[in-house]
């Protein structure tokens, strides 16, 4: 598994996630923002949706927005959480890691490891991933 340092394009994606969170922040309902980058340069955003007991994370919301707009390939994704003095880049939860392996195994995931922001391919963040029937399918 190879972790890589982030670059200026990654920082733009982080800022896009922070922007959507700032515009939609609610401490009990929307505390995480995500952004996904597609090959055409478009960035799709999403926030988590809290409900009684459970709600979707921000990453599937952002991926869903991209898919709804016709996107099928993803280059990178990041999620951020609001902190008292700004934001913190998050590592994806297990459910999100599986979703990323299913929909974007080759996409870079920007995450935090021991306080350092890094990136790695989605497939490398979930070794031995379940091979679901929802995995990426190649069109003929």
Could you report the per-residue pLDDT of 107-133, keeping only the tens digit for each? 999 999 998 999 999 999 998 788 766
Percent of the chain scoring above 90 in pLDDT? 77
**Pure H helices in 50-137:** 58-68, 94-103
Marked catalytic residue, from 59, 71, 83, 113: 59
Q: What is the pLDDT of residue 136?
A: 52
Average pLDDT over residues 81-107: 94
On whether the CB atoms of residues 47 and 30 are closer than 8 A, the answer is: yes
CATH no., domain 4-125? 3.40.140.10
- pLDDT > 70? residue 59: yes
Tell me whether residue 59 is one of the annotated catalytic residues.
yes
Residue 6 pLDDT greater than 90, yes or no: yes
Mean pLDDT for 61-89 is 96
Give pTM, 2 decimals: 0.88
């Amino acid at each position: 598994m190879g972790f890589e340092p982030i670059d200026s394009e990654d920082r733009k994606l982080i800022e896009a996630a922070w922007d959507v969170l700032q515009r939609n922040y609610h401490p009990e309902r929307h505390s995480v923002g995500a952004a996904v980058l597609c090959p055409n340069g478009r960035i799709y955003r999403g926030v988590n949706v809290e409900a009684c007991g459970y709600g979707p994370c921000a990453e599937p919301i952002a991926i869903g927005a991209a898919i709804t707009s016709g996107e099928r390939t993803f280059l990178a994704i990041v999620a951020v959480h609001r902190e008292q003095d700004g934001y913190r880049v998050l590592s994806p939860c297990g459910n999100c890691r599986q979703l990323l392996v299913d929909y974007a195994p080759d996409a870079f995931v920007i995450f935090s490891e021991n306080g350092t922001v890094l990136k790695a391919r989605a497939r490398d963040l979930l070794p031995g991933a379940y091979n679901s029937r929802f995995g990426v399918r190649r069109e003929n």
